[in-house]
Amino acid sequence: MRFEGESSLAEAKPRQARFHGRIPGGRACSVPGCTEAGEFRAPAERGARAGADGPGDWRWLCLDHVRQFNASYNFFDGMTADEITAQQRPYAGWERETRAFAAGAGGTPRWADFVDPLDAIQARYGAGRQQPRQDGRPLSDADRRALKVLGLDADADRRALRQRYSELVRRYHPDRNGGDRSQEGQLRQVIDAYDQLKKAPAFV
């Protein structure tokens, strides 16, 4: 209900028409003889398409003339039949040339350029760069984990494996360490590691 003399918000503040793409800037419409403001962009050349450097030059049109332009615009204008077919492929446009990023100064730094006395970089990022065996025999990830459990390096031989296994069993087995059963978990890890390595190609 509205009382006499009361005005609605719409009457006090009329809505302004909004159009998507309008860019005010005090430019005149580029169509000869038109005195309206050019607030809408359109390609400077009909049929011009975007390339690696963008869509190219623009011209500015008023609302009426940009509507005329859009109504008559034909993306395929000027193309041959083969070019039209190529543009209608599902992946058309993906092979368009793009600009390459500028290379950083000096290129990518090498690992050897860093001084890392605490092995902080290697510990975090160097896990995938595994040390190979000098004899060329392969080591799987499971083999390397087993070597770590036993405290052996990658070049350990079968004799070193047996010696280390015997040493750790004497340390952790309750029958050898005075009945201390608190280290049975470590003993199980040692046995599993030895079982893994004794059948590995590097120790056969």
d(CA 114, CA 95): 39
d(CA 156, CA 204): 12
Residue 53 pLDDT: 53
Tell me the mean pLDDT in the region 161-183.
Answer: 84
Give the end-to-end CA distance of the chain in Å, rounded to a whole number.
97
Verdict on whether the full-model pTM lies above 0.85? no
Higher pLDDT residue, 32 or 114?
A: 32
d(CA 55, CA 123): 48
Q: What are phi and psi of 54, to 5 degrees?
A: 100, -170
pLDDT tens by residue, 58-92? 889 999 998 998 888 777 777 888 888 877 777 66
Residue 174 domain-assigned (yes or no)? yes
Residue 167 domain-assigned (yes or no)? yes
User: For residue 11, which amino acid is it?
Assistant: E
Judge whether 91 and 61 are in contact, CB under 8 Å: no
pLDDT > 50? residue 1: no
Looking up residue 185, the CATH number of its domain turns out to be: 1.10.287.110
Domain count, the chain: 2
Residue 35 domain-assigned (yes or no)? yes
Tell me the mean pLDDT in the region 143-172.
Answer: 90
Residue 9 pLDDT: 47
From residue 123, alpha-carbon distances to 110, 117, 131, 151 in Å are 16, 11, 14, 17
Give me the domain span that covers residue 41: 19-78
Neighbours of 139 (CB within 10 A): 20
pLDDT tens by residue, 91-105? 666 666 666 666 555
Choose the final residue of a domain: 36, 61, 78.
78
